[in-house]
Each structure stands twice: as C-alpha cells, then as structure tokens.
C-alpha cells in the first residue's frame, strides 16, 4: 500500500506539472513560440550535422572539382580554378637547422603538434573546431625559419587549414617513380590564397603531394615527370611536390573557424578527395589515389590552422582559445592513439598546446577521434 500510494502521489504531481506547462503555453504564446523555435533550431543543426557526415562518405564520382549544397547529397561538377602554385614546407626544415640543431617551437606546428594514429590503415579523417573562443583577429606573418626567414603569404586572414598525413617510407609510389627508396607525404589543404600573385586573393581547397627521394635516386632520376623540384642540395634536401586541381571556395574570416571542416579520404584504385565544408556548402577536389598510393600507407592525421605556405605563422590575438578535433576512420570503432610532437607541417600558429584526449567511436555513428585545446 505505501508503495502504491507513493506512485499515486508522483503520478498526480507529474500530471499537475504537465498541466501547468500546457496552461502556461496556452496562456503565453511567447513561451510556446520560443520553445518551438528552440526545437526547430536544434533539429536544423542536427540535420546539417548529418548532412556533413553523409557528404564526406559520398565522394565525387570522378577526378576534378565539385560542389554540393545542403540538403542535396549530389556532387555537381564545377570548373576548377587556377592550378595552385602553393607550396607548404615539411617539419624537417624547421626542426633542424643547417648545423643540425633542433628548433622545435613552443607553439603548435613545425613538428610540435598532435596526430591521431589508427591501428589499421586510415581511410578518412575530418578536422573541425568544436569551440572557438576569444578570436577577434588573425594575421599571417613570416618568422625565423631554419636559420633564415619564412616566405609565406602574409597579411590579415592569411592562413591555411591543413590535414596532413604521416611521412611514410613504405609506399609503392616510390617504385612507381623509379626510385629504390623514398618517403612520401600528402596534405589536404584549404588556403585563403593559394598564390600570393593572384589579385584578388582566391581561396581554394586542393591536395598537395610530396616525395623525398634518396640522394642517389635523385641524382639518377631527378623529380617525377610533372612534379616541381623543391630540392636544396646544399642542405641535403631532395624533395618534389605536385598539386591537384584547385576548387575555388569562399573566403572565410578566421573568426568563423568554428563553421569550417576539412576532410580527406582515400580510395584504393579510385580517387583521393579533399573536402571543405562551410555552413550549407561543400567543395571538393579529387585526384587519383595512384598519385602517391595514399590508401596503402596512411596511418597518422594532423589537423590545425597554421600559416599560409612557406613556413609562415598564423598569429591570433591574445586571449584566443581553439578546440581542435580530428575524427578518423579505419574500419573500427577503436580510439586512435594521441601522438605528441607528431606533426608533419613546417607552418605554425602562435597558440600553445594543451593536453590531448582520445575517444572511441560509438554505435550512433560517431567516429573515433582525438581532441585538444590550444590557446595563448
């Protein structure tokens, strides 16, 4: 009897509460409208998030440049922009000076960054900024770099989003290039200006590929056909790069980083794709996976906002705090490893890294990921 009595009391109390809410909603159209608007806003946000995830898993049907607009999941081919002449730099040139001394910076980039490492070969990765606080301005600047000065594209809102792979020595691409030994590297990039000589600046999303042949292989064969030679023999650096086609995208102020996502996907015997999403629009650039055989060896993913090319730095105003998330897929829901000092880009920002945490995937489709905060 006491148990049944307590149930009746709780039931009556709940009924009274619901009745009161309904009465309030009836008596106050403002309350009802506010509640409805909140629900609609939440539903719209959730729907857009599902669209972002879906479009990432539906790569464009061919090599080239494409656009998709919410809620459609159909990629429509568009004309490519000017071929990117953008050139990034590797951590090697920043971490080691000409006399062999280490120069690992205190701030993010230049080798000092987190990377998500998967146990199996990485299939895709997506970088985002779940929280951005206190950011009111950003400027790209040149900084001391390997005993000299960097040579990036500088000025207000000059930055790149970079999703970078590991630097790998086991790719079949080396044999395809005719090399006995080499290392390879791939970058998925959103640049606020892919070429400092373009006026006005044209932001693009594209893929940048690198190969680092041994000295003997470089002496015998040079760079692969069509690749740009970026070697410095005096420093013992033998390196070549080539860019995919570039897809023109909107210019986005650095204060809007929380609205941006950059993803990279690989597909054996298919195409690799860089996808940039901003609000309700997605833009992609694709190239054959055979360019660097990425699907065979990708295992680490670094994502961050850094300087725009040439080893430059993205400098944020004092009080800036940015949360970085790198979600990865390798066919499992296992949490990736959170590797420190594992970044591969030579570009930097002026934010100091906090701690990094890894999370496993979930049954609702949430991908495994790492997350960390950087601030100044």
Instruction: Express each pLDDT in 160-174 by its tens digit.
Output: 999 999 999 977 889
Longest CA–CA separation in the chain, Å: 93
Taking the model in full, what pTM does it have?
0.87
Instruction: Express each pLDDT in 244-271 by its tens digit.
Output: 999 999 999 999 999 999 999 999 999 9
CB 307 within 8 A of CB 347: yes
Q: Which helix (H) or strand (E) holds 129?
A: strand 124-133
Instruction: Say how many residues make up the chain.
Output: 376
Q: What percent helix, strand, coil does the chain show, rounded to 5?
A: 25, 35, 40
**Angstrom distance (rounded) from CA 142 to CA 149:** 7
Please give the mean pLDDT across all residues of the chain: 87
Q: Give the burial class of 32: count Cβ atoms within 10 A of its Cβ; 0-12 exposed, 13-18 middle, 19 or more buried.
A: middle
**Angstrom distance (rounded) from CA 86 to CA 207:** 10
CB 252 within 8 A of CB 276: no
Instruction: Express each pLDDT in 152-161 by its tens digit.
Output: 999 999 999 9
Instruction: Express each pLDDT in 32-86 by its tens digit.
Output: 666 666 666 667 778 888 898 888 888 899 999 999 999 999 999 999 998 998 9
In degrees, to the nearest 5, what angle opens at C-alpha 159 toward C-alphas 157 and 161? 130
| pLDDT for 332 | 96
What six digits make up the tokens of 126? 């997506």
Q: What are phi and psi of 176, to 5 degrees?
A: -60, -30
- Inform me whether the pLDDT recorded for 317 exceeds 50: yes
**Angstrom distance (rounded) from CA 13 to CA 6:** 11
Instruction: Express each pLDDT in 268-305 by its tens digit.
Output: 999 999 999 999 999 999 999 999 999 999 999 999 99
| pLDDT for 31 | 56
Q: Tell which residue, 314, 335, 313, has the closest CA to residue 326.
A: 335
**Angstrom distance (rounded) from CA 190 to CA 126:** 13
CB 139 within 8 A of CB 133: no
Q: Coil, strand, or helix at residue 66?
A: strand
């Amino acid at each position: 009897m006491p148990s049944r009595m307590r149930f009746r009391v709780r039931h009556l109390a709940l009924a009274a509460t619901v009745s009161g809410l309904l009465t309030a909603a009836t008596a106050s159209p403002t309350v009802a409208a506010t509640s409805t608007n909140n629900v609609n806003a939440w539903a719209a946000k959730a729907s857009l998030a599902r669209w972002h995830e879906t479009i990432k898993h539906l790569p464009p049907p061919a090599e080239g440049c494409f656009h998709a607009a919410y809620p459609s999941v159909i990629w429509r081919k568009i004309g490519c922009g000017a071929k990117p002449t953008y050139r990034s730099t590797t951590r090697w040139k920043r971490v080691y000076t000409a006399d062999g001394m280490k120069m690992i910076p205190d701030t993010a980039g230049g080798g000092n960054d987190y990377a998500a490492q998967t146990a199996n070969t990485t299939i895709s990765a997506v970088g985002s900024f779940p929280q951005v606080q206190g950011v009111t301005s950003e400027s790209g600047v040149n900084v001391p770099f390997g005993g000299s000065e960097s040579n990036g594209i500088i000025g207000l809102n000059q930055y790149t989003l970079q999703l970078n792979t590991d630097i790998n020595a086991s790719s079949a691409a080396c044999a395809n290039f005719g090399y006995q030994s080499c290392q390879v590297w791939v970058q998925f990039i959103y640049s606020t200006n892919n070429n400092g000589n373009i006026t006005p600046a044209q932001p693009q999303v594209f893929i940048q590929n690198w190969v680092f042949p041994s000295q003997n292989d470089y002496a015998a064969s040079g760079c692969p056909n069509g690749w740009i030679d970026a070697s410095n023999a005096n420093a013992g650096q033998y390196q070549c790069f080539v860019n995919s086609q570039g897809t023109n995208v909107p210019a986005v102020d650095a204060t809007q980083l929380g609205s941006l996502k950059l993803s990279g996907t690989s597909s054996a015997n298919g195409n690799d794709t860089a996808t940039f999403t901003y609000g309700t629009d997605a833009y992609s650039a694709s190239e054959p996976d055979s360019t660097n055989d990425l699907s065979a060896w990708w295992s680490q993913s670094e994502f961050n906002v850094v300087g725009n090319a040439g080893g430059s730095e993205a400098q944020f105003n004092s009080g800036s705090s940015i949360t970085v998330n790198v979600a990865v897929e390798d066919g499992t829901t296992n949490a990736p490893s959170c590797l420190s000092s594992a970044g591969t880009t030579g570009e930097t920002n002026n934010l100091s890294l906090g701690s990094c945490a890894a999370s496993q995937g979930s049954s609702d489709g949430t991908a495994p990921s790492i997350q960390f905060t950087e601030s100044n």
